[in-house]
Amino acid sequence: MNKENEETSPVEEKVEEEATIEEIPIGEVDDFKEKYLRLLADTENTRKRMQKEKQEMTRFAIENVITEVLLPIDTFENALGFTEQMSEDTRNWARGFEMILSQFKEILHNHNIVAFHSKGEMFDPHKHEAVEVEETHDHPDGTILEEFLKGYKSGDRTLRAARVKVAKTPQQESEEEPKE
């Protein structure tokens, strides 16, 4: 035999490969197909999970920045609450600041961040921070009597807890010990 006849051409190798693929048992082909489909599904699930995590990270970053801006907005709002006591020139300036404040509030609204009021509600440690407790018989235990600082939330997530005064039922004075 000559050397050319001993070597196989690429076309002949491909034919031999096809022959070997056809010789694979059907059960193994099904296994490969199943593994391929599972890998494809895993890849799609990973892609979706990473996309969701990216959206959550972006949302949390925005909320963290906005949370830092809430106190200056509240201070701004409180200062503008005294416009009635100002001179006419100062009130004109205050109207301009009220417009700026409304722009800040619009930004909060665009990011679904809303203030919540707590006065008269029951104390919820997830939404409120008790800074003062008042013993009283006039209100049920745990009722919020006064709100010192508004709370803010985004959906169900509390961004800043409201700082409040909470009612507490006074403890019964123990009867005086009998004197011997």
Tell me the per-residue pLDDT of 78-130, one tens digit each, with 9 for 90 and over: 888 888 888 888 888 899 999 999 999 999 999 889 999 999 999 999 999 99
Q: Give the burial class of 2: count Cβ atoms within 10 A of its Cβ; 0-12 exposed, 13-18 middle, 19 or more buried.
A: exposed
Tell me the per-residue pLDDT of 125-168, one tens digit each, with 9 for 90 and over: 999 999 999 998 899 999 999 999 999 999 889 999 999 999 99
pLDDT of 69 higher than 70? yes
pLDDT of 58 higher than 50? yes
Q: Give the burial class of 150: count Cβ atoms within 10 A of its Cβ; 0-12 exposed, 13-18 middle, 19 or more buried.
A: middle
Class of domain 113-172: mainly beta
How far, in Å, CA of 158 to CA of 137, rounded? Answer: 30
How high is the pLDDT of residue 10?
57
List the one residue out of 85, 102, 83 whose CA is nearest residue 93.
83
How high is the pLDDT of residue 168?
92
Per-domain residue ranges for the chain?
Answer: 10-111, 113-172
> What's the pTM?
0.65
How far, in Å, CA of 45 to CA of 14, rounded? Answer: 36
